[in-house]
Amino acid sequence: MSDLPQGLHAFIESAGWGEAAIEPIPGDASFRRYFRLRRADGSTAMLMHAPPPEEDPSEFLRVGAWLCEQSMRAPKILATDQPAGWVLIEDFGNDRMREWLDDNPQDELTAYEAAIDALVALHQCPAGPFSPYDMQAYLREVALFTEWYCPAQSLDVDVAGYEVAWQKALSPLVERQSQPVTVLRDYHAENIMLLGSRPSAPQGLIDFQDALVGHPAYDLVSLLQDARRDVSLELEEAMLARYIDATAADEEFRADYARLGAQRNAKIVGIFTRLFRRDGKTRYLAMIPRVWAAMERDLAHSGLKPVADWFAANIPDDLRRSGGGTIS
């Protein structure tokens, strides 16, 4: 394989996997690359390359170690070379929740119930030693919408008013947040592994290196307003109710869920536009209408009125009705 990263063979040799076959695994939206190592005896491991300077595996290792300490199912670390970006980890297999449900749609309810229960377990743990998911972080993220999507549509919008609208909408959430939890930030069907090939099996967690400490509704939004997979309104409501019942969340939780739904979805529209325009990754364009539809539903909540008013004044109706329009 001539396109293997430099240093791969030396690292796996030092880790005791030098004779293993190397199988490339499709990657994600980052610079990271993944490979499955397979020994002659059938044992396997996953090799992640997070090449510097674009990537740094230190946070993946730190968050993963914390999750394991909390009895959450993050992969065990087998070997590392942090300066070079190499990490050898436990292989969770091929059964991502997304592909499993594509092939076994009858298992959808059971799989989502297990995913909700895993979040409940995580939120019963003390918050991790991670940076806060605060107003500054929220505003920095939603700015991706005006930085990337609006220029892509040649829209001259009120950027200052956009930030003010979000501050007004999110202030009640930030001021009231008294029991923060660890937020994985990308907890969705493509980042959940079904260990044991059963929809009710323990949830294997991956892609958690950006964890922060923030509001418990955020990862619910990631899961139930999934950018990459259709989740019916009925299933979303049932799973939101399951979480609220299990945690005795207060009466404002649904409002906060809508606030963070709109915040996350506005961010994702900006990110997906950037992935296309800057990085040439076309596959994300097809996901924007799904994200946009969820964002519009969130904006209908009374807690989002300042942001909804900004959208009404700055984003043309034809773009909103078409799920964001065509981006070129």
Q: Identify whether the C-beta of residue 114 lies closer than 8 Å to the C-beta of residue 201.
A: yes
Average pLDDT over every residue of 84-92: 95
Kindly state the tokens that stand for 44.
């396997």
Kindly state the tokens that stand for 328.
């070129």
Query: 150-196, pLDDT tens digit by residue?
Result: 999 999 999 999 999 999 999 999 988 778 999 999 999 999 999 87
Q: Identify whether the C-beta of residue 141 lies closer than 8 Å to the C-beta of residue 263.
A: yes
Kindly state the tokens that stand for 243.
């979480």
Least trusted range by pLDDT, from 175-179, 239-243, 307-311: 175-179
Average pLDDT over every residue of 69-95: 94
**Strand order, beta sheet including 21-25:** 21-25, 33-38, 44-49, 86-89, 77-81
The residue among 239, 212, 213, 243 whose CA lies nearest residue 226 is 239
Least trusted range by pLDDT, from 25-29, 97-101, 203-207: 25-29
pTM of the shown model: 0.91
Query: Is the model's pLDDT at 297 over the cut of 60?
Result: yes
pLDDT at 215: 96
- Kindly report whether the peptide bond that precedes residue 53 is cis, defined as omega within 30 degrees of 0: yes
Average pLDDT over every residue of 114-118: 95
